[in-house]
Amino acid sequence: MIDLDLDMRQYDCPFIDTTDDVDISFSAVQWQLDTDAEKLETRLIARGDSTGALDQGLQELQSHPNMRECYILSKREDVAEIGTTIEQTNAMRAIQRNDGYITGPFRIEDGRERWHVGFDDDEAEDRTLAELERHNDFAVEDRDQFGPTTLFDLLENSDSARQLLEGCRSLTDTERETFEVASRNGYYETPRETTLEELADHFEISKTAVSMNLRRSERKILKAALGAIEGLADRDEL
C-alpha cells in the first residue's frame, strides 16, 4: 500500500472556500463517499477563532452552492459538531476513478486541506496525481509505502497510537509552542544548546514560567508515551 500525505487546494470545495474567507477550521470525524449519488457525507468539528467567526463560517458554509445539506449537531462557544452533505468534488472523483481511497481524516484551514490518500500500486498513484494536477493545486508532503506486515502492526497497535495522539492533543497552545521551541533549539541535547534563560527571553516571560510550561508538556507526553508502551507490552505478552 502507498500512502500519500497531500496538501491540497480544491477549487470546488465549500470547506476550502469558507476557510478562505473566515477564520474557521474543519476536522473530519467521519465520512462516507457515495460514488453513485456523487456526494460526500461527513461529520466534522468546526472551530472558529471566536464565536462570531464560527457563526459566520457556518452561515457561509450552509449557503455555498456545492453544499447539499449542512446542520449543527452540537455547539458550544467557538466549537461545533456539524453534519454535511456536499457534491463530489473534482479531486474526489479523480481519486475514486483511479482506484485510490481515503486512508485518514482530513483537516481544512486557511484555504488548504490535508488529505491522506492510499493506492495499491505506483501506476494508480501516477494516474491520479496527473489528473489532480490539471484541476487542483497540491503538494505531496509525505509518501510512505507499507507491506502487509507493517500494516498489520499498525492496525494491531492502533489503541497505543491513539493514546499517544491524545496525549499530544492534550497540550495547550502555550505548552505545545514552548515544548516545540525548546526541542528545536536544542534544549534536550547533551550538552544543551539553549538555556531556560534564553527560552524566557524568546517568550518574554520568566524562567519559572518557561520551566512550568515545559514540565506540564513533558508530564502529559510522558504519561501518554508510557501508556502506549504498556499497551504494546500487553499485546506482546498475549
pTM as predicted: 0.62
**Domain ranges, residue 227:** 157-237
128 half-sphere exposure, CB direction, 13 A CA radius = 27
* CATH classification of the domain holding 176: 1.10.10.10
Residue 87 and residue 11 share a domain: yes
Region 196-205: mean pLDDT is 94
* Rg of the chain (C-alpha set): 21
Check residue 80 and give its pLDDT.
95
Check residue 202 and give its pLDDT.
95
Contact yes or no for 138/6 (Cβ under 8 A): yes
| Residue with the three cell numbers 449519488 | 37
Residue 136 and residue 176 share a domain: no
Q: Is 90 exceeded by the pLDDT of residue 206?
A: yes
Residue 204 and residue 99 share a domain: no
**What percentage of the chain exceeds 70 in pLDDT?**
92
Region 150-167: mean pLDDT is 67
The phi, psi pair for 31, rounded to 5°, reads -150, 150
Check residue 142 and give its pLDDT.
86
Q: What is the DSSP string of 127-142?
A: HHHHHHHHH-EEEEEE
Q: Is 80 exceeded by the pLDDT of residue 2?
A: yes
Check residue 74 and give its pLDDT.
94
Q: Looking at 120, 152, 184, which one is the last position of a domain?
A: 152
Query: What total of structural domains would you count in the chain?
Result: 2
Confidence of residue 70 (pLDDT cuts 50, 70, 90): very high
Check residue 218 and give its pLDDT.
93
Contacts of 87 (CB under 8 A, 6+ apart): 12, 38, 39, 40, 66, 67, 68
Q: Looking at 135, 152, 169, which one is the last position of a domain?
A: 152
The one-letter code for the residue type at 222 is L
Contacts of 64 (CB under 8 A, 6+ apart): 14, 17, 18
Confidence of residue 194 (pLDDT cuts 50, 70, 90): very high
Higher pLDDT, residue 183 or 150: 183
Check residue 238 and give its pLDDT.
47
Q: Looking at 152, 172, 206, which one is the last position of a domain?
A: 152
Contact yes or no for 81/29 (Cβ under 8 A): yes
Region 112-130: mean pLDDT is 90
Q: Is 70 exceeded by the pLDDT of residue 146?
A: no
Residue 92 and residue 9 share a domain: yes
Of the ranges 23-37, 39-53, 92-106, 135-149, the best mean pLDDT one: 39-53
- Cell numbers of 75, please? 455547539
Contact yes or no for 138/116 (Cβ under 8 A): no
Region 148-162: mean pLDDT is 61
